[in-house]
Amino acid sequence: MKKLYNKTIWELEKLVTSKDPAAMHELARRLVQGEGIAEDHKRGVNLATKASQLGYVPADTVLGYCYFYGKGFPLDQKKGLQLFLKAAEAGHDAAQYNMGIAYERGTVIDQDYKKAFYWYKKAAELGFAKAFYKIGVFYENGLAVDIDVVKAATYYEDAAKRGYLKAKTQIGEAYLQGRGVIRDLVKAKKYLEEAAFSGDNHAKRLLATLK
């Protein structure tokens, strides 16, 4: 599965004309989420459908997202979940993460923290930043696993290093308080400044205590 996150819209459009399914998927993902481009659910669904028909697994995650949130399709969360599961079982990290969310929340299927943890672990094994954060939350709160603040901090930091904003605030606070790590105000400041710069208000409040 090709990663095209760094491609510009223009570059993706050019690849789409050559019927590149990875480009179709990435452009579809941005279109349905309005990421760097005006939302266009109809075109996003069209591109994702074409990519799926070409056998590109991540496109099923986009289609699942559209069904789950009613974007370009009538709202059908069960259908969305079926597509997430299909892509997750085929090895797509974002779909695995979404399965974790579904089992954690228990709004569409029965809540099951063990299954949520399983899917978060699968996504983390593929380097999905948000999954590392969620595993940290599970360890910190004893969901499906024994409470372990050291492991929680480790996963928060792994997520932070992969650029996830919430994790930067969490690990920054951990270093500030010495929770699961040795207290380190230099590291606390580093992570909190990064999170604050990205607009996290809690990180801004914590930073104020360091001055």
Top CATH class of 128-211 equals mainly alpha
Write out pLDDT tens, residues 34-76.
998 999 999 999 999 999 999 999 999 999 999 999 999 999 9
Write out pLDDT tens, residues 163-187.
999 999 999 999 999 999 999 999 9
pLDDT score, position 210: 86
- Among 120, 126, 71, residue whose Cα is nearest residue 98: 120
Does the structure show a pLDDT above 90 at 4? no
Write out pLDDT tens, residues 11-36.
999 999 999 999 999 999 999 999 98
Q: What is the mean pLDDT of the chain?
A: 95
One DSSP character per residue, the chain reads ----TT--HHHHHHHHHTT-HHHHHHHHHHHHHTSSS---HHHHHHHHHHHHHTT-THHHHHHHHHHHHTSSS---HHHHHHHHHHHHHTT-HHHHHHHHHHHHH-SSS---HHHHHHHHHHHHHTT-HHHHHHHHHHHHHTSSS---HHHHHHHHHHHHHTT-HHHHHHHHHHHHHTSSS---HHHHHHHHHHHHHTT-HHHHHHHHTT-
Instruction: Grade residue 2 by pLDDT with cuts at 50, 70 and 90.
Output: low
pLDDT score, position 171: 98
Instruction: Grade residue 1 by pLDDT with cuts at 50, 70 and 90.
Output: low
Does the structure show a pLDDT above 70 at 118? yes
Report pTM. Answer: 0.92
Does the structure show a pLDDT above 80 at 211? no
Write out pLDDT tens, residues 123-160.
999 999 999 999 999 999 999 999 999 999 999 999 99
pLDDT score, position 91: 96
pLDDT score, position 6: 82
pLDDT score, position 8: 87
